[in-house]
Structure 1
Amino acid sequence: MPQLSTRLDGFTDSVIRRMTRICIKYGGINLSQGFPDFDPPKEITDRLKKVANEGPHQYSVTWGAQNFRESLAKKQEKYMGIHINPDENIVVTCGSTEAMMTAMMSVCNPGDKVIVFSPFYENYTADTILSGAEPIYVQLKPPYFNFDKDELRRAFTQRPKALILCNPSNPTGKVFSREELEYISSLAIEFDTFVITDEVYEHIVFPPYKHTYIASLDGMAERTISCSSLSKTYSITGWRLGYVIADKKIIEQCKKVHDFLTVGAAAPLQEAAVAGLDFDDTYYEDLTKLYDRKRKLFLGGLDEIGLKYFEPQGAYYVMVDISQFGFDNDYDFAVWLIKNIGVAGVPGSSFFREDVNSYIRFHFAKKDETLKEALKRLQKLKEYI
């Protein structure tokens, strides 16, 4: 038999999704893979019922249905603070996962280098390798997961083609400050580097922190490739509706990659999701309040148990310190937790380039009763502290 592709040797399957499968096997509460157990907004699901009968049921325009792109452009232009032409600056993708892959393949040539902050969402290394590029890791240091400016500048001196920026961050919940983003921007301009953003948690930022779109900073609109999705904002992770927003020249490249990668996102789901894109500011304000309340509920429970954690500034994840439990590695702890406690998390080592084995990531995008039951089960950990 001929040899299989060696580029896949650098990574495994998704540890996050693997934890979900183990959780299902043992009937645990899934706080690993970040999806809600509550319904999307009624306006969206009601529209979906009508679309089921009325259509569309065939291909939309490859880079996104016209009305979807127009509503998306109107919404994002308002929040991002940059001009967005629905015909020139948007490609609708099959989730932000495809958006990131499309962005990477549109700008990277084999042998290019890409800066990745560590810890990172596990797809980023895979995306870099699949694009034929080489990752340069820059550490985000706890407890606030800030970067060292000198270390970042040294990474830029290697002349990377792009930097990947997840803001708010998965897995840490870090929200990059405007000062940090301005420093990143200054280096991107100085070294002529693209910035590829993952901003799926753009509307889940807890006071007093604020989300700044790096594309809105001086000189960054033409070199920022903004990737996001509707998954987290509207609780429709299974709909797989994402998008890329960028300069016209970049989007022309993205259109070609997207066309041959997936052809197009689901037409009926785009039609139904327009109802969400047309929401007013109140929806996003209420979304922040909802997740802030869930954050306080869950973190309060962790406090009561006696678990140490890094308080998230945005998104809906929390990194918990498990060093006190005496396991040799966090993967074994994560599996033990599912089997013996009935709660699934993600071993933190899957997010770090560094040799880190003392964290586990939970998410709190669940009904209150689900979180309370999870905390009740986690109370058993007191016996091991």
Structure 2
Amino acid sequence: MTTVRPTPSRPTPSEASPGPAPAPTFAVISGAQVQQALQGREKEIVEVVEATYRLHGAGDTVNPPSSFLRFPDRPSSRIIALPASVGGETRVDGVKWISSFPPNVSAGIPRASAVLILNDHDTGYPFACLESSIISATRTAASAASAADRLSRGRPRPTRVGFFGTGLIARYIHTFLEGTGWSFDEIGVHDLSAESAAGFRLYLEQSRTAGRVTVHHSAEELIRSSDLVVFATVAAQPHVHEVSWFGHHPVVVHVSLRDLAPQILLTATNIVDDIDHCLRAATSPHLTEQLTGNRTFLDGTLDDVMAGRVAVPADRTAVFSPFGLGVLDLAVGKYVYDEVIRSGELQVVDGFFHELRRYG
């Protein structure tokens, strides 16, 4: 591989001088480089994610439905393709290819793994492959932190947070909450795996978080004692059914999408990232639509909330259910790519594209 030092942005074909176009290049960006580019920049990444939501709301993105690859012999596992295109200043196309294999956890490796391919806006040539489990977790956490902030405005700022599900995504969400200025008096933890709950508690204690950490042994206990509830599980179907547990009207960040029964959503203010995307694949909002036969229980998108088109009342539970948009992965991935170029550490695969002459 060849290390590419910082250079000015490539000219578009319309800007380029007459003559042969430069040969396209292809770079590989490792997880270590991705982490280095993103670490400690939570506020910047939330700004990137919110700007992308605005572009999406304005129609300056393309985000077709995700494609699910499922396996009859491994029903709990799946691999998902998320193709997308982002306009604005980002101007990049691409696809995230992310797998979810829950049995990995018992084998001691993370459940999810992913790569992200970035394609040039003008030529369509792929120009980078990035390790993307970190990008995926980062854009999810940034989206969650943004929603927690936006949905909490107009009510007392939550001081008690509860994490239902204690894997990598929960860790990233906690990091993004703290990195964007949140502090909590109490942090609740609940997981069906006592080992996972204990591990997350140890992480919280080692991160020197100011709040008192409590491991709750029931879902009801966690929810009732939290003003902000984060669902980050691998649940395949709703398992939380009791409306009375939400009588104190918390803000709920429902990133795992399938935890809440329809009766919970029907008593809440429901905000999603994209209505059409969220109402598919047996998500809790999708099941609610099937039950009611309509979409009137949805109040709008996070972009609507940011723009002031939708208000979030304090006297109702507020639920954010993000399906997870490929445009967010692209925007964060392009941010990483640009940071790696600036660092002078971009690793280009020599001769990756070989057949570049039309007639040989």
TM-score by length of 1: 0.29
Bigger share in helix: 1
Bigger share in strand: 2
